[in-house]
C-alpha cells in the first residue's frame, strides 16, 4: 500500500508531509506508524517460507516502521527505493563501498563533507581504489578527468562549510556518458529544496540526523536510488547486515511531519541574518547560496527551490584567537557539531583537508546553524560577539 495514498502529488508539500508516512487504517486507525521491534518474523507455513512469499522476512530486512520511512523518502525524492543506515556518515560511505571495486577510479568533489573524505583517503585507498578530488567550480568540466575505470562521481551541493555550488545536471551527464554512477550528498537542501534524481543523479544521500530529525536527538542516514541502481544498493546492505533501529526510525518519521514549516522558518531567519551580516565591517564575506553576492548564486537559483539555515561567514582579518573570542562570547549560539536542530550553533570551520577549494585568505570561516529562535535575539547575540572581539582588540 502506498504511503502517500491519501495525499496525491498535486497536494502541497506540507499537506503531503502531514498525511504521508504511514497507513493509519492498517493499525486500527492510530495515526502514527507503530514502532515494531523485531528479529524473528513467523511464516504461516513451509511453502510460504520456501518461496519467501511474505511481506516481511526478518528484522534485518525491515519492518513496517522502516518501510514507512523508506516509502516516505521515495515519495519525496522521486526514487525507486531507499535504504536506511545508522548515521549520515554511513549513508555517505556505504554507496561508495557498494559501487567501487579494486582498480576503480572515483572522482569526489573537493568540498565534500570531511569525514566522507577521510573514508575515501583511508578505506577506499586501502581497497586499491584510485581516489581523485576535483574543484567544485569545474561543473560539467569533469569530462577530462573521466577515465575508463571511473565508476563513481561523488557530489555534494552546496559544499560543506564553504557552500560552493555545482551544475549538478552537467556533472551527472558527463558521469553517465562515461558509465559512472553519480551520488550526491543532499543533506543541506533536503528533498524539499532539491531532488537530485530529477537532475540525472543516481543516488541521493541524506544525513536524516539534520532537518528530518530536527531535534538534535537522533542519528540516521538514507540513500535513495534509481530503479537501475537500487538492487545493488539493497543487496549490499543485506549482505553487510546493517539497517536502522526502530525507535530512531520513528523519531525521523515524526520529525518529517513538521520539517516543511521548520525549514521555512530556518530559511527566513538565516537569510535575514545573512543579509545583515553582509553589512557588518567585521565580516569579509557571507557564504550563503541565496545571496546575490555569492559566487554560485545563479547556479543555486537555477536548480534549488529554497535555502536552509546553514551558512558561513568569513571574519575580516584576525586568526583563531580572535574567532575564539567571538565564539566564546555567544550566549544563544551553542558550540557544537551537527546542525538541522531547533537550536542555533556556531563552529570554527576546519578546511585543512582541502587540496583545491582552499580556505579564504581574508580570515577565519565560521559556520552558523540558524535555529528556530527569534531573529532579533540571534542578531543581538552576534552583535555581542562582535563587541567582544572589538574589546579584545581584534
Ligand atoms: C552531518 C553530515 C553528514 C553526516 O551525518 P551524521 O548523521 O552526523 O553522521 C553527512 N553529510 C553532511 C553534508 C553532513 O552535514
Cβ neighbors of 322 (< 8 A, separation 6 or more) are: 315, 364, 389, 392, 394
| Residue given cell 538534535 in the structure block | 216
Q: Where are the domains of the chain?
A: 13-255, 259-391
Whole-prediction pTM: 0.96
Q: Which CATH class is domain 259-391?
A: alpha beta
Residue from 113, 118, 218, 220 whose mutation best tests the ligand 1 pocket (most atoms within 8 A of CB)? 113
Domains 13-255 and 259-391 share a fold: no
Cell numbers linked to 268: 527566513
Helix (H, G, I), strand (E, B) or coil at 215: coil
- Can you tell me the distance from the alpha carbon of 161 to that of 350, in angstroms, rounded to the nearest whole number? 8
pLDDT of 52 > 90? The answer is no
Q: How far is the CA of 210 from the centre of ligand 1 (A)?
A: 7
Q: What is the dihedral of CA 68, 223, 290, 263, to 10 degrees?
A: 20
Residue from 88, 136, 155, 244 whose mutation best tests the ligand 1 pocket (most atoms within 8 A of CB)? 88
End-to-end CA distance of the chain: 61
Q: Which fold has domain 13-255?
A: 3.40.640
Atom of ligand 1 nearest to the CA of 338: 1
Confidence of residue 2 (pLDDT cuts 50, 70, 90): very low
Total Cβ atoms within 10 A of residue 319: 11
The more confident residue out of 358 and 332 is 332
* Residue-wise pLDDT tens digits, 130-139: 999 999 987 5
Bond from prior residue into 308 cis (ω within 30 degrees of 0): no
Confidence of residue 1 (pLDDT cuts 50, 70, 90): very low
Residue 23 is predicted with a pLDDT of 85
- Can you tell me the distance from the alpha carbon of 65 to that of 73, in angstroms, rounded to the nearest whole number? 13
Atom of ligand 1 nearest to the CA of 210: 1
Amino acid at each position: 500500500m502506498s504511503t502517500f495514498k491519501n495525499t496525491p502529488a498535486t497536494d502541497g508539500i506540507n499537506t503531503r508531509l502531514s498525511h504521508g508516512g504511514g497507513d493509519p487504517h492498517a493499525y486500527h486507525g492510530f495515526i502514527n506508524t507503530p514502532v515494531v521491534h523485531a528479529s524473528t518474523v513467523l511464516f504461516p507455513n513451509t511453502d510460504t517460507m520456501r518461496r519467501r512469499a511474505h511481506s516481511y522476512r526478518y528484522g534485518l530486512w525491515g519492518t513496517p516502521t522502516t518501510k514507512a520511512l523508506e516509502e516516505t523518502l521515495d515519495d519525496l525524492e522521486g526514487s525507486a527505493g531507499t535504504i536506511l543506515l545508522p548515521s549520515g556518515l554511513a549513508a555517505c560511505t556505504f554507496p561508495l563501498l557498494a559501487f567501487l571495486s579494486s582498480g576503480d577510479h572515483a572522482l569526489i568533489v573537493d568540498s565534500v563533507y570531511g569525514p566522507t573524505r577521510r573514508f575515501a583517503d583511508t578505506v577506499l585507498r586501502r581497497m586499491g581504489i584510485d581516489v581523485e578530488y576535483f574543484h567544485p567550480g569545474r561543473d560539467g568540466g569533469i569530462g577530462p578527468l573521466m577515465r575508463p575505470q571511473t565508476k563513481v562521481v561523488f557530489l555534494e551541493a552546496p559544499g560543506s562549510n564553504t557552500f560552493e555550488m555545482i551544475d549538478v545536471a552537467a556533472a551527472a551527464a558527463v558521469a553517465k556518458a562515461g558509465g559512472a554512477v553519480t551520488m550526491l550528498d543532499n543533506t543541506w537542501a533536503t528533498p524539499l529544496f532539491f531532488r537530485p534524481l530529477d537532475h540525472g543523479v543516481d543516488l541521493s544521500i541524506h544525513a536524516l540526523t539534520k532537518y528530518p530529525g530536527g531535534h538534535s536527538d537522533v542519528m540516521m542516514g538514507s540513500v535513495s536510488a534509481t530503479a537501475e541502481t537500487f538492487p545493488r544498493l539493497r543487496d549490499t546492505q543485506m549482505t553487510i547486515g546493517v539497517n536502522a533501529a526502530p525507535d530512531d526510525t520513528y523519531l525521523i518519521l515524526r520529525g518529517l511531519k513538521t520539517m516543511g514549516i521548520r525549514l521555512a522558518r530556518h530559511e527566513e531567519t538565516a537569510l535575514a541574518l545573512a543579509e545583515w551580516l553582509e553589512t557588518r565591517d567585521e565580516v569579509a564575506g557571507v557564504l550563503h547560496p541565496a545571496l546575490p553576492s555569492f559566487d554560485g548564486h545563479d547556479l543555486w537559483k537555477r536548480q534549488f527551490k529554497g535555502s536552509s539555515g546553514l551558512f558561513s561567514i568569513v571574519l575580516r582579518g584576525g586568526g583563531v584567537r580572535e574567532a575564539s573570542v567571538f565564539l566564546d562570547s555567544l550566549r544563544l549560539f551553542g558550540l557544537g557539531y551537527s546542525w538541522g536542530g531547533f537550536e542555533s550553533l556556531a563552529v570554527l570551520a576546519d578546511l585543512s583537508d582541502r587540496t583545491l577549494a582552499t580556505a579564504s585568505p581574508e580570515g577565519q570561516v565560521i559556520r552558523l546553524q540558524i535555529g528556530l529562535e527569534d531573529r532579533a535575539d540571534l542578531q543581538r547575540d552576534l552583535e555581542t560577539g562582535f563587541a567582544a572581539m572589538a574589546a579584545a582588540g581584534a
